[in-house]
Structure formats: C-alpha cells, structure tokens
A and B are shown apart, each in its own frame.
Chain A
Amino acid sequence: MGLKPVLTKDFGTEGLRQLDAYERTGGYAGYKKALSEIKPDDLVELVKKSGLRGRGGAGFPTGNKWSFLPKGMYPRYLVCNADESEPGCFKDRYLIEESPHQVLEGILIAAFAIGCNTAFIYIRGEYLPQYEALESAIEEATAAGYIGKNVLKSGFDVDVILHRGAGAYICGEETALLTSLEGYRGEPRLKPPFPAVKGLYGKPTVVNNVETVANLPHIVLNGADWFASMGTPTGKGTRVWCMSGHVNRPGNYELENGTPIRELIMEHGGGVWKNRRLKAFQPGGASMMVLLPEHLDVGLDFDAIQKAGSLAGAGAMVVMDETTCMVDAARRYVKFFHHESCGKCTPCREGTFWMSNLFDRFEFGEARPGDVDLLLDMGYNIDGRSFCPLGDASTWFPRSVIKYFRDEFEQHIAEKGCPFRKETEAAVAVA
C-alpha cells in the first residue's frame, strides 16, 4: 500500500516526451513483445487475468470489454477516451503531458489485441498543449515504424487518428463520444446495442480511458501476476488520484489500490491547509457523493468506496475544510451539469435547470421553508429517469450533501443567504 509509481515511474525524466528518452526508460518494449511473442487472443486473456478494470469511472474489467467484440466482424475500432472533463479530475492530462508515448503505446497494444487497424484518440478541446504532445508523439512513432503498414514486420497494420473535441462534457460518455466522433451533435445513444457490437460507424468498437491503456505496456512486460499482486482482490494495480481543494499539496498521486484515504490526504497531500479541520471530501469527481472524516480509513478502491456510500469514479479527490459552504459547492456542480446537459432528455435538461435555479435561491437568500424537500424531490425525479448517467450523476452530490449537511441548507433559509460568505464578499453569479 502507499505510493506506488508504475505509470508515473519515469515521470520527470529529461525529455520523456520524446521518443528516444521514452525508449531509454523501456518504452515500446511492451509493444514489441506483444507483436513478436503474443497472439492477440492471448493478449486479451492476459489482460483479463491481470484484473485490470477501466479507469474512466465505471470500473468495468478491460479484458472482458475486449472479449465482447463479436467474432469475425471487421473493421473494428478502438477509441481512447481522453475527453477528461469531470470537475476535480486532471490525471489524463498529467499522463499525456508527461509521457504521451506511454499512452500511445498502450493504444497500439490494445489495437493489436482486438484486431483493430484504425484507432482514435478523442481529446477534449481545452487540452491544446496535450493535443500537441500527442500529435508529435504520433509523428515520431510513425517515423519509427510503430504506426503504419506491417509494423515491425509483424503483418499488423495500424493507423492512429487524433481527434479534438470542442467543449462538451457529455462527449466523455462513451456513446456520446462516438456520436461526436462521427460528426454529429454529441448526444448519447441508447444502450444496448453496446459499442462492442455496434459502435463507431456501426462497427464493433472498444472505448478505453487514457489511464487504462497506459497500464497495458506494463502488464505486457511484467505479466498478469505482477499486476494482480498489487492492490485489492477486486481492484488490482494502482490508480492515479487527482487531489484538489483544501490540501497543502494538491496534485496527482499514484497509489496502490486499497491505500487508506487518510494516507492520501494527510500524508501525501500534507493534510488540510491553514491548519483547519477536515469537513468533507469527495472521491471520484463532481458526480460522486460526499464522504465525511469518519470515512478516512476507507481504502482507495472501487468496491470499498462504494461500500462507504460513494463511488471512486474517475479518481478525483476534492478536499473541503471546515470553512466550506457545502451548499455553494453543490451549487457549482449543479450549475456545471446544467451547463453541460446535452438537452436530449427532459429529466436532465429541465431537471438540472430547476435544480440550479433552486440552488441560486439558497445562495442568494431567497429560499423558502420546504425548498430542501423540493430539491430532494427533484433529485428523485431526475435520477434513474435520465437517458444517460449525466442526469443521474447531477443529483448524487447534492442529495448526499442534504443527507449529511441538511442543517446548512436550513441555515441558508433562516439567515436569508449564505452564512459562510464574508460580508465584504459579493456572491458571484455563476452563469
């Protein structure tokens, strides 16, 4: 348990963004080994055996996802999801920024395993420097013969297309991402059929997160048993946790799965800033439920966090100290979901709008008695009734805040405004 750099092991090496430095740290050895020694089907088995679970949020076993592709149906596509937009989350940016070749190598290995000849990287529009880093990595890898026809005389043809989004959180949802990649408005599609059967251009498609594919070179090189020896029985390996908010040292920390949250916040993060007390924290990013100091000993692991009443999601840890207005924090998240709702389904489009209005009422002192229950009622009517998880997730944080901090909402009503805001501070209207 504790810090365990696997993906981030060589980060900080001079010039790691360039191919030669990356190769000196053992880069592309996994790809070469896969091409020359391992059959694609065995590669799928290897990843299954390693127990690698998707790092994008849902935690679905990667090897299983690959094996859902219908036999004999070609072409197949691989899409690497780099549309990281979850508030609190910045690990994909870090992984790409520091070592774009590691991500690319992972993509190439995954493409080989599933028999895909055209792989895509969908990166969010705001990540321009990261787009450029990947762009030059692809150029270098193509020049070195890792991408192209008959790669390293293995008979494997592969092409990688880098696609830049243009500012839509919803495109991180895999079906919306595929719709967007096809050139439509980025609205989600009904599942089933799942992308594995009918994905990009109606063809079998695998969508994998940046951190997921970045694990692959290491699994190929060191074996499934090595990977499975790290972490917990149901959460193998490590995860990169993005820590932000009221800690002394925010940043990315790669920890072995199962490491207690206390160690991440108190030890690596240097504890809560300004010698204040911890009020709450949120694992998983904007969507996920808030947890309290009593949950500090929960392990950083999909299942353990779920048992504690939240979700590990995309691996963000937002820390809040005792001066935080939980109502305002929830208001920002709800505003975010309202802003990012694609408008396809009514519960999400209208629900996030009304929730956001109601939160403004609390913050600006216009809330009336009974509004907390109204908010809960809205939440129940959005959650489980939305077309995709965006709508559902917009209600999880506010409802968990009401569960633990209902008195703060009542205080906003009684005092006609935010009790945490200093008199000199004007409330900022968030568009």
Chain B
Amino acid sequence: MPLRPDTVAKIQDYARRYPSAQSAILPALWAVQYEQGYVTDEALAEVATHLKLPPSLIEATSSFYSMFLTRPEGRHEVMICVNAPCMLRGADAIVAYAEQRLGIRDGQTTSDGAITLRSTIECLGACGGAPMMQVDHRFEENLTPDRINAIFDHLRTAPAFHEQPPAEKKPARRTPTVSGEITRSGPSGARARTRKASK
C-alpha cells in the first residue's frame, strides 16, 4: 500500500528540516506508523526513495527501535510496566488481572482485534502512579480492577489511533473515569498543593 500524499509531504518536509536527511528517518517512520498502524518493508523502501537514502540504511535504523511495529496488531496497544518500581506496587497482579479479563496471554491480541496486551520491562516513566499502563501511548495510572474494566470496555469499541479523524487525535482523556478513583495522571507530592488561580 503506497503512502498517502500528505504523509509523503510530511516526510519530505522532515528531510528539509534537519541539517541531514538521514535524521529524518525516525520522524518519517513515525509518520508511516501514524498513517498505516505499522511499518511494512514496502513502506521502508518508499521512505528510502523520499529521503534519497539506501533502503538498507532505513531498515538498519528502524530495526533498532522497539516502538515501530512490523506487523498488524490489535487496534489498541495496552502496555503494562513490570519493572521494579511498578512491581513493588503490584504490577504482576495487574498483568494477571488484565490477562484474565481479556482472556488472552501477555503478548496476544483479543479475538475481536481490539486490544493487544503487552507487559514490558521498559520503564514507561510513571513510577509515581504505579501500577500503570500505557494505552496507545497515553498514561493510565494508579490502576485498579475497576479502572482496568472501564478502560477495556472503552477500547472494545473505540477506533484505532491511526483510523481516527485528525481532529480527534489529541483527546484530553480517552477513557471515562470511574467515580471515587484517582485518575489524575501524574504524581502527587509537590503538585498536591491547592491549585492556584492564574495571576
């Protein structure tokens, strides 16, 4: 499937923006994944022609980075961190609960193609809100079974990130909140002071 003209324009734009066109490889691959959901060999070759670089170089670079998907997966990606700071706050139980709730194992996709579940050892940067997950790269913190249910129910029907019309691609919150739960993203502490009015 060839890339859409607007994606191609974006890629050519990146190539001009950087002092070297090679620096545009990562942004170009993001643009591809943003449009198609994953990065095919065909797309890699097309990126090479637009950046005027050898295809081997594009592939060498893209294969180093773990966030580029090489095959179609579920419409939504749920990643649960199981590194030590999350483990301390019960991430293993959260993974087990998610597996049971979705009826799949870690790394699999639900039969309706809605959710791919993945536990990751890579810290996602929300240790203060552990246990946490990233849903399509958005943070969901202080997880509880109720919260997970609400997130999964929402995802079952929500369109995939790359299939949404552009206006909806920057939602403030993508999932409904459950009453009585801490859903605020991010840490407490210094921020817990009362909100100041704008001067």
Contact = CB atoms under 8 A, between A and B. Distances in A.
A183 interface: yes
B197 A165 contact: no
Nearest to A77: B19
B127 A12 contact: no
Interface stretch (B4-12, B79-87, B151-159): B79-87
Contacts of A243: 128, 189
Given A12-B196, A250-B130, A254-B190, A87 B85 contact: yes
Contacts of A87: 83-85, 123, 127
B125 A126 contact: yes
Contacts of A180: 26
A158 to B, nearest CB: 14
Interface in A14-50: 14-15, 21, 24-25
Looking at B66, B82, B85, B106, the one whose CB has the most chain A CB atoms below 10 A away is: B85
Interface in B98-127: 106-107, 119, 121-127
A166 B65 contact: yes
Contacts of A11: 190-191
B83 A333 contact: yes
Nearest to A203: B19
B78 interface: no
A62 to B, nearest CB: 23
A111 to B, nearest CB: 15
A354 interface: no
Given A3-B190, A167-B66, A339-B122, A252 B128 contact: yes
B189 A166 contact: no
A311 B14 CA distance: 39
Given A180-B26, A250-B187, 16 more contacts: A13-B195, A24-B199, A85-B123, A169-B122, A240-B190, A244-B89, A244-B127, A245-B127, A249-B188, A249-B189, A250-B127, A251-B189, A252-B128, A336-B122, A430-B119, A430-B121
Contact of A183 (B22, B122, B138, B193): B22
A126 B67 contact: yes
In which size bucket is the chain B interface? 35 or more
B30 interface: yes
A301 interface: no
Contacts of B24: 183
Given A12-B191, A244-B85, A428-B92, A335 B23 contact: no
A117 to B, nearest CB: 11
B88 A165 contact: no
Interface in B131-151: 134, 137-139
A105 B185 CA distance: 25
A90 B129 CA distance: 10
Interface in B159-179: 170
Contacts, number: 219
A297 interface: no
A86 B129 CA distance: 15
The 9 lowest CB-CB distance pairs between A and B, nearest first, are A251-B189, A251-B187, A183-B22, A244-B127, A166-B65, A87-B123, A167-B67, A167-B66, A185-B64
Interface stretch (A51-59, A91-99, A382-390, A409-417): A91-99
B66 A336 contact: no
A286 B27 contact: no
A67 interface: no
A166 B66 contact: yes
Interface in A412-431: 425-426, 428, 430-431
Given A182-B22, A183-B23, A88 B190 contact: no
A10 B129 CA distance: 22
Given A165-B65, A167-B65, A329 B88 contact: yes
Nearest to A14: B198
B88 A318 contact: yes
B97 interface: no
A340 B88 contact: no
B84 A286 contact: yes
Interface stretch (A127-135, A146-154, A188-196, A365-373): A127-135
A13 B174 CA distance: 24
A11 B185 CA distance: 14
B190 A161 contact: no
A2 interface: no
A164 interface: yes
A319 B25 CA distance: 40
Nearest to A184: B61
28 contacts: A12-B196, A14-B195, A24-B199, A87-B85, A88-B84, A90-B187, A124-B125, A128-B138, A161-B17, A163-B26, A166-B29, A166-B65, A167-B67, A184-B60, A185-B64, A240-B190, A242-B187, A245-B85, A245-B127, A249-B192, A250-B127, A250-B130, A251-B189, A269-B189, A339-B122, A340-B122, A428-B95, A428-B119
Given A324-B88, A336-B123, A425-B92, A126 B82 contact: no
A8 interface: yes
Given A245-B88, A251-B191, A164 B26 contact: yes
A52 to B, nearest CB: 20
B198 A15 contact: yes
Given A12-B191, A94-B186, A88 B88 contact: no
Contacts of B138: 128-129
B154 to A, nearest CB: 17
A332 B84 contact: yes
Contacts of B139: 129
